[in-house]
Amino acid sequence: MQLLYFAWVRQSIGTGSEQKKLPENVTNVAGVIDWLRHEGEGYAEAFRDVDQIKFAVNQIFVSLEAPVKDSDEVAFFPPVTGG
């Protein structure tokens, strides 16, 4: 799975993108978050409050229940502040 992180999510985790093998029991975005939380301190910090995080699967905003598969691009980031 292609994982992307932006803004302070990126800073907490320490990288902007990485490739990781999706565990077989993980089937949706909420599952990805639970899995990544155990990947290290930076991840735990980034995903501490899921209400502060937005996510996109293949560049489309989705909800926590959205299904994911290993070939997806999944991105995590704070609420947007452009303009």
Partner 1 sequence: MTVRLQTEPLDPEVEVRTFRGRLDESGALVTFTGLMRGQDGIREISRMTLEHYPGMTEASLMAIEKEALERWPLDDCLIIHRIGEIMPGEPILLVAIAARHRQQAFKAAEFLIDWLKTKAPFWKYEEDSDGGRWVGARSQDDKLAKRWD
Show the binding pattern over residues 15-54: x = contacts partner 1 (CB under 8 A), - = does not. Answer: ----------------------------------------
2-5 contacts: CB < 8 A, separation 24 or more?
2/72, 2/73, 2/74, 3/36, 3/74, 3/75, 3/76, 4/73, 4/74, 4/75, 4/76, 5/46, 5/75, 5/76, 5/77
> Residue 81 Cβ, how far from partner 1 at the closest point, in Å?
5
Query: Is residue 79 at the binding interface for partner 1, with CB under 8 A as the rule?
Result: yes
Q: How far is the CB of 24 from partner 1 (least distance, A)?
A: 27
